[in-house]
Chain A
Amino acid sequence: MKYLKSITLILALAFFACTAAFAQEHGEEAEKEGISLKEILFGHVQDSYNWHLFDVNGHPVVIDLPMIFYSQQSGFHVLCTSQFEHHPNAELLREGPDGFAIQGSAEEKGKIVENVNGEWQPVCFDISITKQVCVVFIDAIILLLCILIPARWCKKHKIDDEAPKGFTGLMHMFIMSVYDDLIKSTLGEKADKYAPYLLTCFFFIFFANLMGVMPFPPGGGNITGNIAVTAFLAICTFLITNATGNKHYWMEIFWPEVPTWLKCPVPLMPVIELFGVFIKPIVLCVRLFANMLAGHAIAISLTCMIFIMFAIGGFMGNLLGGFITPVSVLMSIFMMALELLVCYIQAMVFTLLSAIYIQMSHASHH
C-alpha cells in the first residue's frame, strides 16, 4: 500500500512534468488563442480599480468601486469605476469623464491619468477604494467581529461562569494558543505590553490569508500577497522594535562585543549590524509577500493548465486536456490544503519573528 502510493505519486509527477514541457512548447500557440497565463495570473494577484467577479457570455460582471484622488489641476475627485470604459482602447487607456483615464488593461491596476493639454499626466494623491482596499476593509470587519464577540462574552460573564462554547470558545482557545505559544514564550514578562499589537498582526494576516485563498467575495483579494500591506506591517514592527529598544540594543549595534579592529578604524561590524536593523523588517515583509504570492501563482497556474491544454486545440490538445484535468484538480486540492496550512504558518512566522525582534531590542546584556 505504501509503495502503491509512492508509485502513483511518481507517475503523476512524471506525467505532470511531461505535459508541462509539452505545454511550454505549445504555450505560444495557446496564447494566440486568447489565453495568457501571465495576464490571468497578474489579474488575480494584483490590485484593480473595480472588482471583477466573472464573465457571463463575454460580458464582465464587476463590482464598481469608488475612486478618490487629487489632481493638481482640478482638485479632489470622487468618481466611480462604472464611469470608465471596461476595455482599454488602442493606447491602453480606459477613458472616463472629465478627461481622466485609467492606464493599463481591465484586470491590471494601472495609474489614473489626467489629460492635460493633450498629454496624459498621472494624478498624485490616489486613495481610491480599490479591490484590495475593499478586501482590507472586509478583513478588518471580520477581524473586529471575531475578536469583539468573544471579548463581549468576557465582559458579560464572571470568572466562575461556565466555560464559553462554540465560536467564543474557539476564539478564546485560538487567541490563547497564539498568546501562550508565540508571544508569552518569547517575550516573557513583557508579553502583555506587546500582545495586542502582535495578536492584531497575527489575526489580521491570518484572516487576510484565508480570504486570499477563498476564490470569491468576500475573499479573492490577495492582500497579504501585496507588498504595500506586508511593508506596512513590517514597518510597524520596525518602528516598535527601534522605538522601544533599550541601550543594550543600540550598543549591540554601534559597539558590539567583537575584537576592536573589527569596529575601530573601519566600522565593519557596526555597518553590518546597522544593515541588520533594516534587513529584518525587509525580510519580514518579503517573506510574507512572496509566500502568499507564490501560493496564489501556483494555484492559478494549476487551474490554467486545463484551459491552456484545451486551447492548444486539435486532437492532441483535447487528449492532453482530458488527461491534465483530473491531475490538475487533484493538485489544486492538494495546493489548497497546503495553502490553508501556509495561511496559518505565515501568520505565525510573522508574529513569532516580530516578537523575537521586539524581545531582542529588550534583551539585557549577554
Chain B
Amino acid sequence: MSLLTPDFGLFFWMTVVFLCVLGILWKWGFPVIINMVNERKEYIDGSLKKAHEATERLANIQKEGEELLRVAREKQASILKEAKETHDTIVAKAESDAREQANKMIAEAKSQIEAEKAAAIREIRSQVAELSVQIAEKVIRQNLSNDKAQMQLIDKLLDEVK
C-alpha cells in the first residue's frame, strides 16, 4: 500500500516549494493582478457611466437648443406683432392729430374770414354811410337853396335826432 503512505521526501520538498511559491505570489503575484483588474473594472465602469451621462447631456443640450430656438422664434413673432401694433397706433394717432390740426386751422381760417368779412362789411357800411352822407350833402346843398325848405328839413332832422 505504498500508494497511501505519504512519502517524506516529497512532502518535505512540497512544503518548501509550495511555501516559497505562495510567498512569492502573495507578495508580487495575485494581489497585484486582482487589484489591477478590479481597478480597471471600476475605471471602465466609471468611464461608461460618464459616457452615458455625456450622451444624455448632449441630447439635453440639443433639446435645450431647440427649445431656445423655439422661444426665440416666438419672441420674434410677438415682437414683430407688437411693433406692427405700435406702428398702427402711431399712424392712427398721427392721422387724428393731423385731422385735428387741420380742423383747427380750418376753424381759424373760417373765423378769420368771418372777422374779415365783418370788417369788410363794416367798412363798406361806413363807406356807404359816408358816400350817402356826401350824396346827401350834395343833395341837401342843392335843396337848401331856399330857406323855407331848409328850415323844414332842419326841423325834420332835429326831430329825428330827438
B17 part of interface (Cβ distance < 8 Å): yes
The chain B residue with its CB closest to the CB of A293 is B3
By a CB distance below 8 angstroms, the chain A residues around B21 are 140, 143-144, 200, 204
**Number of A-B pairs whose CB atoms are under 8 Å?**
128
| A151 contacts B7, C-beta separation under 8 Å | no
The chain A residue with its CB closest to the CB of B10 is A228
A255 part of interface (Cβ distance < 8 Å): no
| B28 contacts A151, C-beta separation under 8 Å | yes
**Least Cβ–Cβ distance between A78 and chain B, in angstroms:** 13
Chain B, residues 121-155, CB within 8 Å of chain A (1/0): the string is 00000000000000000000000000000000000
Q: Name the one of A155, A196, A229 contacting B14, with C-beta atoms under 8 angstroms.
A: A229
Instruction: Count residues of chain B with CB under 8 A from any CB of chain A.
Output: 35
**Least Cβ–Cβ distance between B148 and chain A, in angstroms:** 151
- Interface of A, helix, strand, loop or mixed by DSSP: helix
Given contacts A136-B14, A204-B21, are A151 and B29 in contact (CB under 8 A)?
yes
**Looking at the complex, which of A80-88, A122-130, A309-317 is the stretch in contact with chain B?**
A122-130
B residues 20-36 near A (Cβ < 8 Å) are 20-22, 24-26, 28-36
Q: Name the one of A133, A159, A231 contacting B43, with C-beta atoms under 8 angstroms.
A: A159
A contact residues vs B (CB 8 Å cutoff): 42, 45-47, 108-109, 125-130, 132-133, 136-137, 140, 143-144, 147-148, 150-151, 154-155, 157, 159-160, 163, 171-172, 175-176, 179, 192, 195-197, 199-200, 204, 223, 226-229, 231-233, 236, 293
10 contacts between A and B (CB under 8 A): A42-B3, A47-B7, A133-B13, A144-B24, A147-B30, A151-B29, A154-B36, A159-B39, A196-B26, A200-B18
B contact residues vs A (CB 8 Å cutoff): 2-15, 17-18, 20-22, 24-26, 28-37, 39-40, 43
